[in-house]
């Protein structure tokens, strides 16, 4: 029992550190490989699908108070970390947001666009 407790004290923090290091540190976002055409499509998707709640442009305010502006998303976590959630179906805490399941090119484009509007 003591060995198991000691093992969990050593392995637990290591696992957390590995997960935290699996994405680029804040401010050092990884390149998602989105083409200019994919980013343009991502911008269109953001404006049409997200703009009723989120501020999708860099210097805008969100129409829905609980929906974070896209330009703030990189403050809390790397934008690239959203890729898996968008692929598998993103469910969020604010009311009215649909569950999305996007194709890889759509994800690259949307996240490429979101990266482009981050406050520096």
Give me the average pLDDT of each 10-residue run along the chain (120 residues): 36 34 49 92 95 93 92 90 79 64 91 91
Domain ranges in the chain? Answer: 2-116
pTM above threshold 0.95: no
Q: How far is CA 18 from the centre of its chain?
A: 19
pLDDT at 91: 56
pLDDT at 97: 72
pLDDT at 23: 43
**CATH for the 2-116 domain, from 2.40.160, 3.30.310, 1.10.760, 1.20.1070:** 1.10.760
The crossing angle, in degrees rounded to 10, of helices 36-45 and 104-116 is: 80
Please report which residue ranges of the chain form alpha helices under DSSP H.
2-21, 36-45, 83-88, 104-116
């Amino acid at each position: 029992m003591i060995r198991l407790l000691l093992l969990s004290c050593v392995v637990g923090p290591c696992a957390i550190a590995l997960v935290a290091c699996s994405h680029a540190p804040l401010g050092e976002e990884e390149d998602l490989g989105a083409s200019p055409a994919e980013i343009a499509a991502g911008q269109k998707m953001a404006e049409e699908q997200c703009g009723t709640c989120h501020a999708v442009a860099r210097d805008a305010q969100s129409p829905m108070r609980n929906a974070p502006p896209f330009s703030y998303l990189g403050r809390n976590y790397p934008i690239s970390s959203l890729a898996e959630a968008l692929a598998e179906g993103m469910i969020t805490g604010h009311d009215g947001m649909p569950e999305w399941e996007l194709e890889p090119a759509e994800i690259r484009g949307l996240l490429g666009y979101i990266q482009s509007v981050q406050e520096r």
